[in-house]
Amino acid sequence: MKKWLSPALLIVTFLLSAIGHYAGWNFTLQFILSSISVIFVAGFLGKATESVAHYAGQRLGGFLNATFGNAAELIIAILLIREGLYDMVKASITGSIIGNLLLVLGLSLFAGGLKFKIQKFNMTLAGLNGSLMTLAIIALFVPAVFLNTHSITEDETKLLSLIVAGILIVSYIAWLGFSMITHKEYLADVSEDKSDQDALAHEQEPTWSKGRSVLYLIIATVMVAFVSEWLVGVLEPISHEYGLSELFIGAFLVAIIGNAAEHSAAIMLALKNKISAAVEIAVGSSLQIALFVAPVLVFVSFFMGDTMDLVFTTLELVAIGVAVFIARSITQDGASNWYEGLLLLAVYIILGVSFFLV
Amino acid sequence: MKKWLSPALLIVTFLLSAIGHYAGWNFTLQFILSSISVIFVAGFLGKATESVAHYAGQRLGGFLNATFGNAAELIIAILLIREGLYDMVKASITGSIIGNLLLVLGLSLFAGGLKFKIQKFNMTLAGLNGSLMTLAIIALFVPAVFLNTHSITEDETKLLSLIVAGILIVSYIAWLGFSMITHKEYLADVSEDKSDQDALAHEQEPTWSKGRSVLYLIIATVMVAFVSEWLVGVLEPISHEYGLSELFIGAFLVAIIGNAAEHSAAIMLALKNKISAAVEIAVGSSLQIALFVAPVLVFVSFFMGDTMDLVFTTLELVAIGVAVFIARSITQDGASNWYEGLLLLAVYIILGVSFFLV
Amino acid sequence: MKKWLSPALLIVTFLLSAIGHYAGWNFTLQFILSSISVIFVAGFLGKATESVAHYAGQRLGGFLNATFGNAAELIIAILLIREGLYDMVKASITGSIIGNLLLVLGLSLFAGGLKFKIQKFNMTLAGLNGSLMTLAIIALFVPAVFLNTHSITEDETKLLSLIVAGILIVSYIAWLGFSMITHKEYLADVSEDKSDQDALAHEQEPTWSKGRSVLYLIIATVMVAFVSEWLVGVLEPISHEYGLSELFIGAFLVAIIGNAAEHSAAIMLALKNKISAAVEIAVGSSLQIALFVAPVLVFVSFFMGDTMDLVFTTLELVAIGVAVFIARSITQDGASNWYEGLLLLAVYIILGVSFFLV
């Protein structure tokens, strides 16, 4: 991880991306530079968040980690909302969920499975995560089913989206209360593999002082906001230049770039046989997107004057449903092997080809 | 339970409801009085059924309990069929299933979970119930898929509905044979928690003599028939007065009133840490609705001259599918906590808002 | 098994079928004769394959068994493609999958369950098979969803079908590598019931010498090709004479005839309490159809000049989805009883009636 987050690379890519943007370089080059820069600053932001969380104490820290874990994606999405690119926002939500459940989890199980024959992980947590994910799917499906089968006004759709978003946020806050307060010990108890817990804890070990952590958090947030802006600015020209749909750009390009930091962390952990921690990152991240990022974006758009509804396209819903279904099927026995990782990747490729062909 | 079923309250609410009906009081008042009365007489009918079942011996008694357990709902539904309100009948079937799996089970797990950290229940029975519920969903989905994708006549739809209803009733009778004759000991064996079994048995302890039980069963049935008639009579004016759809009235108002007795029993048991028994009431009751009440109503409508088909609306099918899916997800690990109850309630609210907005 | 595969019956039914075909007997009679003959020669082909596989050594043998296990169905399907009967091909793929998962598995569990109260089988393998089956469903669903929700050209649909077929074949080959090379011992370990393994091994005990086995394999393949041709030739006249749809003929008649050998083998094993082996035949056979036969047929049609797409009808997709869902629900607890077999058969009948009514 050290290399990836080294200050030199962080600053150089950020500056190159800035120069590219203000000097008006070729769109493709701008896209490549800002993408690389987003990956580094998102990693920096993640590390700063963890460090601040460490000093904030267990409860507030857990809350910070859980809610700011997807800050980069949230900022990119808010910028897309400002541009009115609602379809791309929903595509990037879809892409983050399937990217975490199929690509990250798939690569982790595949790479880990090639090195270790069978890898075991926590079943109880997988079961609870599965039920949470089921709630998320239901919440995302109901508005679409409702809209497609009954003649309702746009206002009613937006009202329903706001209510559903509110229920999701309440459920997410209740989940934080459950996992960090009332059933903290229970969830810790069920993790059979002590070293996996240590692995996650170790990732959060702070290397900076308290004051420096807060400063870095502020700097990182500002940097993320800037590079995200530069990235979002070239998405439309890129989509025209290469004939790619908003759906494909949002669901694959934006989602992979925004989640790159988690991706590499999960795969590293899997290669160290810490598969519980890898599964937790992949599944936990997709849960945060569905239960927290998506509903927050609905409220953000509401306060920005034009409510984004939660009506996903059929292909997006099928992609999310399919990803949750196969990820649950594979994680529910609490053991993994390379073939299960390959199955997840096969589904990801099938969905990728479909989105590309649209 | 004593208070709820006390004779004085039973008679007073019944009489008030009768006076309201025959004196032509305000519709809203009539609706409230007959709703309260239905709850009491349904409780009385349930208790009388259990008492007669006790004297009828184990096998016949089990059969009586299993088939007359939803007598109040069956009577209300038959009255709705007589009025030609087929959409409301199907909505109330939907509402009973999701009400049991989401509201009753959700409140039980939530209330029980707040009092007891982790509650454990029987997994084997949950698995079998899950498979039965899957059959029920398939049976309810196939006619709708068939109708929506192929141009077939109304007569063919009714024929298919009758055949599917016949298969469901045969499956239900076979289930009674399986659980009460061939695998009686096996299912008893798998219930790890002896006290839960006692809890259910205790509920069935008769307080009346044999002759009195039979007499009460007859009286209760007559009372249910009357108050159901009064209730059904005001549903249409109420729907117009408050601008509620048939779908919402059937799926939420009628379903909650008709199942109130089971609801309170399940929550009481959960609060006594008898969660196996509470789960059995909630899941068992929804199974009876899907595998017995729904197909019986198809045959009743057939004999009344105009066959009701089993074609549910997409929103109803989604609601049933979603309820079964998340209830299975939550029960299959054999342990529950308050958060799982909250998830079920969250889904119930999302569905409730959707049905309300139609 | 001896009786069924006795040489006399094999030759007599083959000759009668040949005479019927060349003398131009009544279509119904030709259909009956060639159907019976297909069952015998498919059994003969299966036995010859196993015998050759035995001499080919473990790895190549396992591969031969796994890929030529559905040779009869493959040959019938190729002949249907030559006639341009693409709808019937896809219906027969659907029918093979649901026939194995509902009819064969249902009859095995039902018959075995009547004789033995509870039958236990391997859960780990069931879990892996379930995940594989989920991949197969996803692969079959995505092209149809894609086509129904976006305006794409026929060429794009065919391209998507070819890509999906390629991914399925790669996944299938990887599965063979996983189960026969990298995790061979692991999968053998998890089979708790040693005698079930012996049962499968015993079925594969060769009765013929090496040279004779190869000779028989060639003869059997030629015979299958001939009788399949005769059978396929009368399907259209039969469909007109009895007013049956291509869908029903493909999904029920062709599928049942083509799988008859597996059907009888699985039920025999269940009656000997070797339920693991029976489940493996039923589930394994449906996996082979979905992951190997279906994609191979796409490529065969491509090389024959007109690519068959993988777009199944909604009713077919619902049938496959429903079959996988209830089969997984029933097998995932690792124990079976007669009632679970009856549930599978109930679903098969509901689907059969639906397909018949189209």
Element containing residue A171 per DSSP (H, E): helix A154-177
| Amino acid present at B240 | H
Distance CA C302, CA C78 (A): 12
Contact B237, B27 (CB under 8 A): yes
The domain containing residue A334 runs over which residues? 7-357
Q: In chain B, which residues have their Cβ closer than 8 Å to the Cβ of C340?
A: 128, 131
The predicted-structure confidence for C176-209, as pLDDT tens digits, reads as follows: 888 878 877 776 644 444 454 455 554 556 678 8
Contact B59, B277 (CB under 8 A): no
pLDDT of residue A13: 92
Percentage of chain A surpassing pLDDT 70? 89
On the question of pLDDT at B261 being above 90, the answer is no
Using a CB–CB cutoff of 8 Å, tell me whether A338 touches chain C: yes
Element containing residue A119 per DSSP (H, E): strand A119-120
Is residue B95 situated within a structural domain? Answer: yes
For residue B245, what are the CA distances in angstroms to A160, B19, B323, C5?
17, 28, 21, 64
pLDDT of residue C191: 46
CA torsion angle A41 A43 A44 A50 (round to 10)? 140
Sign for the pseudo-dihedral over CA of A261, A263, A269, A272: negative
Q: Which of C34-48, C301-315, C325-339 has the lowest mean pLDDT?
A: C325-339
On the question of pLDDT at A346 being above 80, the answer is yes
pLDDT of residue B81: 92
CA distance C325 to chain B (A): 8
3-state secondary structure of B120: strand
CA angle at B10 for the pair B4 and B12, rounded to the nearest 5°? 125
Distance CA A56, CA C203 (A): 66
Q: Which of B87-96, B196-205, B209-218 has the lowest mean pLDDT?
A: B196-205
Higher-confidence position of B244 and A122: B244
Closest CA to B230 of B8, B3, B41: B41
On the question of pLDDT at B200 being above 70, the answer is no
Is the CB of A156 less than 8 angstroms away from the CB of B346?
no
How many angstroms from the chain centroid is the CA of residue A37? 17
pLDDT of residue C66: 66
Contact C61, C54 (CB under 8 A): yes
Using a CB–CB cutoff of 8 Å, tell me whether A339 touches chain C: yes
pLDDT tier for residue A53 given thresholds of 50, 70 and 90: confident
The predicted-structure confidence for B266-283, as pLDDT tens digits, reads as follows: 888 888 888 888 888 888
Q: Which of B315, B340, B349 sits opposite A149 (nearest CB)?
A: B315
CA torsion angle B225 B228 B232 B234 (round to 10)? 120
The predicted-structure confidence for B18-42, as pLDDT tens digits, reads as follows: 999 999 899 999 999 999 998 888 8
The predicted-structure confidence for C275-286, as pLDDT tens digits, reads as follows: 888 888 888 888
Percentage of chain C surpassing pLDDT 70? 89
Q: Report residue B191: phi and psi, to 5°.
A: -75, 105
pLDDT tier for residue C260 given thresholds of 50, 70 and 90: confident
Is residue A275 situated within a structural domain? Answer: yes
Q: Which of B159, B167, B178 sits opposite C350 (nearest CB)?
A: B167
Looking up residue B349, the CATH number of its domain turns out to be: 1.20.1420.30
Mean pLDDT of C6-25: 90
Is the CB of A337 less than 8 angstroms away from the CB of C183?
yes
**Average pLDDT over chain C, rounded to whole?**
83
The predicted-structure confidence for B7-21, as pLDDT tens digits, reads as follows: 888 899 999 999 999
Mean pLDDT of B171-184: 84
pLDDT of residue C21: 93
Is the CB of C171 less than 8 angstroms away from the CB of A342?
yes
Percentage of chain A surpassing pLDDT 90? 22
pLDDT of residue B1: 45
Using a CB–CB cutoff of 8 Å, tell me whether C130 touches chain A: yes
Q: Helices B71-82 and B294-303 meet at what angle, rounded to 10? A: 40
Q: In chain A, which residues have their Cβ closer than 8 Å to the Cβ of C159?
A: 357
The predicted-structure confidence for B316-330, as pLDDT tens digits, reads as follows: 888 998 898 888 888
Higher-confidence position of A264 and A29: A29
Higher-confidence position of B184 and A159: A159
Is residue B321 situated within a structural domain? Answer: yes
Is residue B2 situated within a structural domain? Answer: no
Which chains have at least 3 CB atom pairs separated by less than 8 Å from chain A? B, C
For A113, other C-beta atoms within 10 Å of its C-beta total 23
pLDDT of residue A146: 78
In the block, which residue shows the tokens 């693409």?
A: C86
pLDDT tier for residue B192 given thresholds of 50, 70 and 90: very low
On the question of pLDDT at A267 being above 80, the answer is yes
Rg, chain C, Cα only: 20
Using a CB–CB cutoff of 8 Å, tell me whether A178 touches chain B: yes
Is residue C1 situated within a structural domain? Answer: no
Is residue C165 situated within a structural domain? Answer: yes
Q: In chain A, which residues have their Cβ closer than 8 Å to the Cβ of C130?
A: 329
The predicted-structure confidence for C89-131, as pLDDT tens digits, reads as follows: 999 899 999 998 999 999 999 999 888 888 887 777 777 777 7
Mean pLDDT of A141-165: 83
Domain count, chain C: 1
On the question of pLDDT at B204 being above 70, the answer is no
Mean pLDDT of B53-58: 77
Is residue A1 situated within a structural domain? Answer: no
The predicted-structure confidence for A103-117, as pLDDT tens digits, reads as follows: 999 999 999 988 888
Residues 6+ apart with CB under 8 A from B46: B69, B261, B262
Closest CA to C251 of C137, C343, C351: C351
Higher-confidence position of B226 and B185: B226
Is residue A2 situated within a structural domain? Answer: no
pLDDT of residue A191: 46
Element containing residue B284 per DSSP (H, E): helix B275-288
ipTM computed for the complex: 0.84
On the question of pLDDT at A58 being above 80, the answer is no
